[in-house]
Structure 1
Amino acid sequence: MKKLHFISLTANRLSGNIPGYLGNFTGLTYLSLESNQFSGVVPPELGNLTSLKTLILSSNNLVGTLPEALAQIKDLTDFRVSDNNLNGTVPEFIGRWTQLGKLRITDTPGPEFPLPIVPYKMEFLVLRNINLSGTIPEEAWSVKITLSATFFIMITVYN
């Protein structure tokens, strides 16, 4: 289905695994499954959504790591996976999403450093309560900020 561009199923009581067939909606530019009860892993089929600009998977019960297939989404501008049970490192491919302006990973037992290189267009970065340890790599601060852009960064570590 190439004509469907927008799906928001936010704040329902949907449960089970995120259906892999959502990857067939290749015309999607916006997908929000936020605030449901989805469980299991993020299906790699979502990587087929190469037109996607916004992907919001926050506030579910997702586990495992983010699939490498998501790297195929080249023009993503907004990615949120807060409040899940994901683990592992923040995937390096996030640093290759050069259009990414908003990244939110919070309230998750992982991921760990290293952080990917922060894309040039990043305006909103929240990494809160995700059990970060170690030192913040210098390249995480190397983003160039213009006077016309607003940049917000929030990294909180709780002991």
Structure 2
Amino acid sequence: MKRKVFYSFHFDNDVMRVQQIRRMGALEGDEPVSPNTWEQIKRTEQGVKNWIDQNLNGKSCLVVLIGSQTANRPWVQYEIKRAWELGKAVVGVHIHRLNCPRNGFGTMGANPFNQFSFKNKSGQIVKPFVYEPNYSDAYGDIRDNLASWIENSINQ
């Protein structure tokens, strides 16, 4: 069974890397909205929040695809906070070693989870897992392991 996930990432910097992950087909993830639809959604802050909440519905896990600037993005921060509030598993994967056709390789970004304090159901502080794919074959490492990384996070 393929898990249904919500991908969180910095669109402007990382969309081409994220598309590589989507094409792997290991998971069932949301397709990105078209630029025209996004322009309508982002007219109001509440419109964006409603879209995020709607798209988190029915998902097992929030997968934060961490590029060089992902940790600083306000909507990524909202997605992390909201997913945790809704009881979704949260996992991070560094994607800077995926080769972007436009920009080449990226630089490693900060862990976006360091800005939060996560507590599990029993009140213990936990940190979501963050994976850094293999230097020599990031694509293959993500392809071969993303599903198990998500399962690890769901079972954390």
Larger RCO (CA within 8 A; separation ≥ 6): 2
Report which of the two has the higher share of helix.
2
Q: TM-score under structure 1 normalisation?
A: 0.30
Report which of the two has the higher share of strand.
1
